[in-house]
């Protein structure tokens, strides 16, 4: 059974209590406090696993509880930390708490701490002082995070198939891949999303087929509303339209209206395919294409027949080209040069600075990937700064005539040092 939604109860482990203990040995009657700290509670960690494909397990095991930390003991012995609970989830799983997204796992092996375990309490050895030499207090362990989470699975595919019921989506998927969806001559034969891998010119495309959409699907009518989320992660939408519709343009408009009402789906690249075109005259096909272009003037429209394998290869090639362009190209061409402090450094805001560089030309390949690194003056070389570009893979550089410099300004003026973007530039 395909399950793409589940509610789970998540509880991280409680921290162990600190111990109240005093050292008592022969010839050492007053050894002082030696109570150890409690152990940390285990956390609940989700891990994306490409071998999992459904949330069905969480329907039968909705409670995810991590191990508690153990209490401390004498001789300043700390308690054992609770083991983290590693939960494997399918790729594309989103975790929501009170309707807010707290984790989105899309890469194999990616992890996210969903509920953090509580800290262990201090033992009485932490509370001794010159005026309080025999403390009889210790801290209790902190409770771990505890809440109800909602899990949503959004299939990660290259191409998402959309269309009215009986538009030929399942037939198309069965022809181009090894998937075997249910096919019949009545609406809503597809009740759950299906995945298939199509091959074209030594390349592969992961295609997702969702149940047919009807007017009002974004408001909960039919089956499409429950599965529209699976289209949100696709790179390209393949809109299949039955050529035997009385008005292909109206059928196209109906689906586009529902996509616009459901988030940003309408902004995704789209390719249109008229299905069941075998044996039809060019005049009928031209009439239907003209009807569609009334609503989408620049639409890319293919005429195909899945059973006859007509136009399938050309359509798959166009899909692959579009997917490649969407997946590879960066969303924006950014030319920010960023000077950052070492990882984890939080000493002072002066350890980080941003500067904007506007390049006017591109340099030869030999000049690429140059990164200038320097140490700060006045702090013993502890803080290291680096300059690099983001957004274009470090390919863009400015010409020497417009070479910018970045002035790093620590707290004291005499510590100021100038950085250039070229290692060979004289300072």
Residue 272: name the closest of 158, 163, 183, 155 by CA: 163
Q: What is the pLDDT of residue 361?
A: 37
Superfamily grouping for domain 5-153: GTP1/OBG domain (2.70.210.12)
For residue 286, the SS3 value is helix
Region class of 284: left (phi > 0), else alpha (psi between -120 and 50), else beta? alpha
- What are the sequence ranges of the domains in the chain? 5-153, 159-328, 336-420
Q: What is the pLDDT of residue 274?
A: 93
In the chain (427 residues long), the average pLDDT of successive 10-residue segments reads 83 95 86 93 94 85 94 93 94 91 91 95 92 91 95 85 85 86 63 80 86 60 63 87 90 86 81 90 90 89 91 92 76 37 37 35 37 39 40 42 39 38 39
Give Rg (Cα) of the chain: 31
Residue 166 CA to residue 168 CA, distance in Å, equals 5
Residue 14: name the closest of 52, 40, 33, 34 by CA: 40
Q: What is the pLDDT of residue 315?
A: 92
DSSP-assigned beta bridge partners for residue 95: 103, 151
Q: What is the pLDDT of residue 227?
A: 67
Residue 390: name the closest of 328, 314, 325, 339 by CA: 339
Residue 140 CA to residue 15 CA, distance in Å, equals 8
Helix residue ranges per DSSP H, 167-311: 169-176, 224-227, 248-261, 282-293
**What are the DSSP E strand ranges found in 20-174?**
44-48, 63-65, 85-89, 93-97, 100-105, 111-115, 146-153, 159-162
Answer CATH for 159-328 from 3.20.20.150, 3.40.50.300, 3.40.640.10, 3.30.9.10:
3.40.50.300
Q: What is the pLDDT of residue 182?
A: 67
């Amino acid at each position: 059974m395909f399950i793409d939604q589940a509610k789970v109860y998540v509880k991280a482990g409680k921290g162990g209590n600190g111990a109240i203990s005093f050292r008592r040995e022969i010839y050492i009657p007053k050894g002082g406090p030696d109570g150890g700290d409690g152990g940390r509670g285990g956390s609940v960690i989700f891990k994306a696993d490409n071998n999992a494909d459904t949330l069905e397990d969480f329907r039968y095991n909705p409670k995810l509880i991590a191990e508690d930390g153990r209490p401390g003991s004498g001789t300043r012995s700390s308690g054992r930390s609770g083991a983290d609970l590693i939960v494997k989830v399918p790729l594309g799983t989103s975790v929501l708490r009170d309707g807010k997204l707290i984790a989105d796992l899309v890469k194999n092996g990616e992890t996210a701490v969903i509920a953090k375990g509580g800290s262990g309490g201090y033992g009485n050895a932490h509370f001794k002082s010159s005026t309080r030499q025999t403390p009889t207090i210790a801290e209790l362990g902190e409770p771990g995070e505890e809440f109800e989470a909602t899990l949503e699975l959004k299939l990660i595919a290259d191409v998402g198939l959309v269309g009215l019921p009986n538009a030929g989506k399942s037939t198309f998927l069965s022809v181009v891949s090894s998937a075997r969806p249910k096919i019949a001559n009545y609406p809503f034969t597809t009740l759950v999303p299906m995945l298939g891998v199509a091959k074209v010119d030594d390349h592969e495309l992961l295609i997702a087929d969702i149940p047919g959409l009807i007017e009002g699907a974004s408001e909960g009518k039919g089956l499409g509303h429950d599965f529209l989320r699976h289209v949100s992660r696709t790179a390209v939408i393949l809109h299949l339209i039955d050529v035997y519709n009385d008005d292909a343009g109206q059928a196209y408009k109906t689906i586009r209206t529902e996509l616009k009402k459901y988030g940003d789906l309408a902004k995704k690249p789209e390719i249109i395919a008229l299905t069941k075109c075998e044996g039809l005259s060019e005049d009928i096909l031209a009439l239907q294409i003209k009807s569609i272009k009334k609503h989408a003037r620049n639409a890319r429209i293919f005429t195909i027949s899945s059973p006859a394998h007509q136009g399938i290869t050309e359509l798959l090639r166009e899909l692959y080209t579009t997917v490649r362009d969407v997946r590879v190209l960066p969303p924006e061409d950014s030319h920010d040069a960023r000077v950052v402090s070492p990882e984890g450094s939080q000493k002072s805001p002066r350890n980080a600075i941003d500067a904007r560089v506007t390049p006017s030309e591109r340099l030869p390949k030999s000049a690429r990937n140059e990164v200038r690194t320097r140490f700060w003056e006045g702090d013993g070389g502890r803080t290291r700064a680096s300059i690099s570009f983001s957004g274009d893979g470090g390919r863009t550089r400015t010409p020497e005539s417009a070479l910018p410099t970045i002035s790093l300004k620590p707290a004291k003026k005499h510590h100021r040092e100038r950085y250039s973007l070229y290692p060979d530039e004289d300072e």
